[in-house]
Amino acid sequence: MSLAEADLQSRERSQRSGREGRRGQRAQAHAATGRPYIQRNIPTYDILSEENLARIEATAERILAEIGIEFRDDPTALDHWRRAGARIDGALVRFEPGMLREILRTAPARFTQHARNPARSVEIGGRNVVFSPAYGSPFVMDIDRGRRYGTIEDFRNFIKLAQASPWLHHSGGTICEPVDVPVNKRHLDMVYSHVRYSDRAFMGSVTSESRAEDSIEMARLVFGHDFVDANCVILGNVNVNSPLVWDATMTTALRAYARANQAAVVVPFILGGAMGPVTNAGAIAQAHAETMAGCALAQLERPGAPVIYGNFLSSMSLRSGSPTFGTPEPAIGSMVVGQLARRLGLPLRCSGNFTTSKLPDAHAMNEGTMSMLAAVHCGANFILHSAGFLDGLLSMSYEKFVMDADFCGALHTYLDGVVVDDNQLAMDAFTEVGPGNHFFGCAHTMANYRTAFWDSEIADNEPFEKWEAAGSADAATRANRRWKKVLAEYEAPPLDAAIDEALLDFIDRRKRAMEDAWY
């Protein structure tokens, strides 16, 4: 095939296809490339030497032994620590060097989180990578309506957008706060929505022990009691009250997950200069100490319970006092965090698509991309906040959600790395084409082009004139069209009627048992 012929075929294809044909091609591509999770084919980026890692670990051990961590208002947690041999002084717990590392020997290096659709179960740990939506924004925003409080309808919409994307692997948790539902009942509607509108793995509530237990109980209605006791089917994301404090809300939730053999994600949230030192190495050492303590507590509650080593490091504008996200310090710091988690042999949650931008603009994707690449380079296994994160996590953005999901698609290709085999080396193509000719129609191109390159849904690669004639849309405008189209075309995955009924019945009983509370 000549260049002209190839060009003609290409133009015919493009005219013939239009929106429908294109969608068909994409659906095909998705079927081929959609995977329940990614197995990374590129190495982790190991930034620090053994010696420097050992210094950070030694500082963490000194913090644990000399400063200690407070475990407030949870006598059971203190009992665990006492029995394990820690020094207790009121709420303050101090740990001999090496003690937590020893306790953590029972924690699995990797585990399966089962989805109600078994084809979508995820492996967390090892060289696996799982992308999960952003978590916890009180607001939602889109470019039509601007920012407003999230509702249960928004919550469901984001689950649908995640479910429809071949590039996310997990339904997430508090994907936005459904502010129109009473605080003490939200968890019921949230867990139900994950089960009803997605067939992927999901996260439960951690805002109190009873809400954690409700979440797990609902998972039992889906998966069966015995299955849940033997397998992870729900995650709970628990935060440290940094610096160096674990409060009872979090430790009781953490222990509820561990007790049920479900995985807690243990996450210090440190803004350097506020909840930790302004210097990266120190903030990382502190986070390491806090995370080890939380993960170890899960092991004391139930040895062998799965647990994820988490991290949420960020910086501050020391000019304005505002938190900053997606900056270079936490991005590069993530690489160290990854090394520390691997040395402990724990699955890692780290970084995500962070930004302080209030719009799905250049600022948002500059910060988000640096931050997200840090997540994949540092070896994170479970990447929360993979899509939708805006305004320092205050807003969940419809447009950024689909932009980020698209970028997660690009990262599938990125994490596949560079394959070196005879086909990829293409010696036959050089022999066929020779100097000065083109590769458009050569046998090697024809055999490989369908799967050769990542094909974005958001990028516009058309020539300027064609793009201009089509209305000069920016990426936010294209993303706006895309999420509306995806929602319009969304179809719920099948759900067993008996399970649905059991869940609704449970929710009804639980809701009737409580007065509405808005705090």
Please give the residues from 356 up to 385 whose contact with a copy of itself meets the rule CB under 8 A.
356-370, 373, 377
274 touches a copy of itself by CB under 8 A: yes
The nearest distance, CB 502 to a copy of itself, in angstroms, is 41
User: Is 277 among the residues that bind a copy of itself (CB under 8 A)?
Assistant: yes
CA atoms within 13 A on the CB side of 375: 32
> Among residue numbers 163 through 202, which ones bind a copy of itself (CB under 8 A)?
none
Which tokens hold the place of 153?
């309808």
DSSP string covering 309-320: EEEEEEEE-TTT
- Residue 101 CA, distance from chain mean position: 26
Q: Which of 1, 13, 24, 230 binds a copy of itself (CB under 8 A)?
A: 13
Sign of CA dihedral 366, 368, 370, 373: negative
Nearer to a copy of itself, 427 or 492 (CB): 427
Quote the least distance from Cβ 203 to a copy of itself, whole Å.
Answer: 26
Q: Is 38 in the site for a copy of itself (CB under 8 A)?
A: no
Beta bridge partners of 348: 309
Helix, strand, coil shares of the chain, percent, nearest 5, are 50, 15, 35
Q: Does 31 bind a copy of itself (CB under 8 A)?
A: no
Q: Is the CB of 192 or the CB of 483 nearer to a copy of itself?
A: 483
Task: Note whether 65 binds a copy of itself by CB under 8 A.
Answer: no
Q: For residues 51 and 344, what is the distance between their CA atoms, to the nearest angstrom? A: 16
Residues 407-446, one symbol each (x = binds a copy of itself by CB under 8 A, - = not), give x--xx-xx--xxxxx-xxxxx-xxx-xxxxxxxx---xx-
Going 455 to 458 to 464 to 470, the CA torsion angle's sign is positive
Residue 277: CB atoms within 10 Å: 16
Identify the three-state secondary structure at position 396: strand
Of 217, 230, 252, the closest CA to residue 77 belongs to 252
**Pick 301 or 457: Cβ nearer a copy of itself:** 457
Q: Cβ closer to a copy of itself: 58 or 230?
A: 58
77 forms part of the interface with a copy of itself (CB under 8 A): no
Residues 299-318 that bind a copy of itself (CB under 8 A): 315-318
Backbone angles phi, psi at 455, to 5 degrees: -125, 100
Site string for a copy of itself, 443-482 (x = CB under 8 A): -xx--xxx-xxxxx-xxxxxxx--xx---x-xxx-xx---
Counting residues that bind a copy of itself (by CB under 8 A) gives 138
* CB nearer to a copy of itself: pick between 71 and 202: 71
Burial of 409 (0-12, 13-18, 19+ CB in 10 A): buried
Cβ distance to a copy of itself smaller for residue 168 or 476: 476
